[in-house]
Amino acid sequence: MKQEITVPPMGESITEATIGTIIKPSGSTVGMDDEILELETDKVNQVLHAPQGGVLQLSVETGQVVKIGQVVGYVDQDGKPAEAKPKAEAPAQPQSKETAPPKSAQPAPPKPAAAPAKGGARMMKEEFLADLQGESQPAPEKPAKPKPASGPAPAPKAPPALPRSAPSLPIGERRETRKRMSTVRKVIAARMVEATQTTAMLTTFNEIDLSNVIALRDKYKEPFQNKYGCKLGFMSFFVSATVEALKAVPEVNSYIDGEELVHREYYDIGIAVSTERGVVVPVIRDADQLSFPEIELRIEAFARKAREGSLALEDLRGGGFTITNGGVFGSLFSTPILQPPQSGILGMHKVQKRAVVVDDQIVIRPMMYVALSYDHRVIDGKEAVTFLMQIKNYLEDPSRLLLEV
């Protein structure tokens, strides 16, 4: 009995997928729920499983684009696995009757005897007598040099010109490797180009003194982890500060739709997560209604699912504002790129101790540069700077987040 394998529905906006890795080749024996192949989409990758046990027959190849509902193969319960065909041996070439003898069998022509070199280890009688006769004859006198005539001294000769460039060194071997671009990488590339070509993107910068945030983390990190089972990181502080800044500057939580300006009345914050396949942005829904532990638990769950490749489409859909943290890789300063149709993205960077002036005193503080990239069609410079200053004020005095002042 044969059972077809079809491409399942994967979301309202997804109409096609690309055949990625073929895990089980055609003709192999599979069991029920065995992984057969991987489908790549512009959102996430999805693995297809065998609907029953039997012999697998696929009608698609790697890189082929398939539609939702398309049949990509079947599993035959009564089929037999394909047997490997033995390789045919190459026929032996007949020897020719007239075969030339090998080169080693042909006698080499005799080499002519080399003449003895003069001044070698052994000298003949004639050479010795000739040398004696040459030494006994007086050397010819050199003609006297004429005295220079009186007058100005001749100009010195110019030194020989040096070469303009040193001789080039030999060029080593140039190697290149090619591989097919994944669907996720294609989508990331297309969206980055779209963001730079369809938005009036501008970036404003500031720096934040994280002394108080670090002091709170150091004081409560052990009780926090013991109670909630997750670490207290910077991201929960930044998410909470971003929500309060969006409330103060609602233009940053807006976007353009045709000729209309749409303002979101909710606060869905995307968190950029780096994976082996590229950057994904899972979304924390209704972040304004979540506590610090709830934010940290959701971020930890998203990071784990991203590493395992088990993020669902619902985890990535939507989002009104994005936070990306290049500081985990050591970045000190960067310009994040917008994620259309969003109008703003916040870039976090490495915490570094620097000398700053506080109350007319030079002190050492843990500082972080932050960057806000925004769509200048929606947000003016005043609103962008005000938004970033709101985040700075909340993080430099995190007690304001609890008091909501």
346 within some domain: yes
β-bridge partners, 358: 361
Token readout for 77 is 């319960």
92 within some domain: no
137 within some domain: no
Q: Show which of 44, 60, 76 is a domain's final residue.
A: 76
CATH number at residue 385: 3.30.559.10
212 and 352 share one domain: yes
Output the tens digit of pLDDT for each of the chain's 405 residues. Answer: 788 888 888 765 677 888 888 888 888 888 888 888 888 876 677 788 888 888 898 998 888 888 888 899 988 887 777 665 555 555 555 454 444 444 544 555 555 444 444 445 566 666 666 666 665 555 555 555 555 555 555 555 665 665 565 566 788 888 999 988 877 778 778 888 988 888 999 999 999 999 999 999 999 999 999 999 999 999 999 999 999 999 999 999 999 999 999 999 999 999 998 887 778 899 999 999 999 999 999 999 998 888 887 888 888 888 999 999 999 899 999 999 998 899 999 999 999 999 999 999 999 999 999 999 999 999 999 999 999 999 999 999 998 888 776
> For the whole model, what pTM was predicted?
0.66
Q: Are 371 and 335 in contact (CB under 8 A)?
A: yes
Q: How many domains does the chain have?
A: 2
Task: Say what the pLDDT of residue 137 is.
Answer: 55
374 within some domain: yes
93 within some domain: no
CATH number at residue 13: 2.40.50.100
Task: Say what the pLDDT of residue 105 is.
Answer: 46
Strands, DSSP E only, in 245-385? 254-257, 260-263, 269-271, 273-275, 278-280, 283-284, 321-325, 344-348, 352-358, 361-375
CA–CA separation, 10 and 20 (whole Å): 15
Domain that holds residue 42: 2-76
Helix 381-396 × helix 211-228 angle, to 10° = 60
104 within some domain: no
Cα end-to-end distance, the chain, whole Å: 69
Q: Show which of 27, 57, 76 is a domain's final residue.
A: 76
191 within some domain: no
What amino acid occupies position 128? F
Q: Show which of 28, 51, 76 is a domain's final residue.
A: 76
341 within some domain: yes
CA–CA separation, 356 and 364 (whole Å): 6
Alpha-carbon dihedral sign for residues 10, 13, 15, 16: negative
Cα–Cα separations (whole angstroms), residue 144 to 141, 294, 343: 9, 107, 96
CA–CA separation, 171 and 339 (whole Å): 43
Active-site residue set:
376, 380
Q: Are 333 and 367 in contact (CB under 8 A)?
A: no
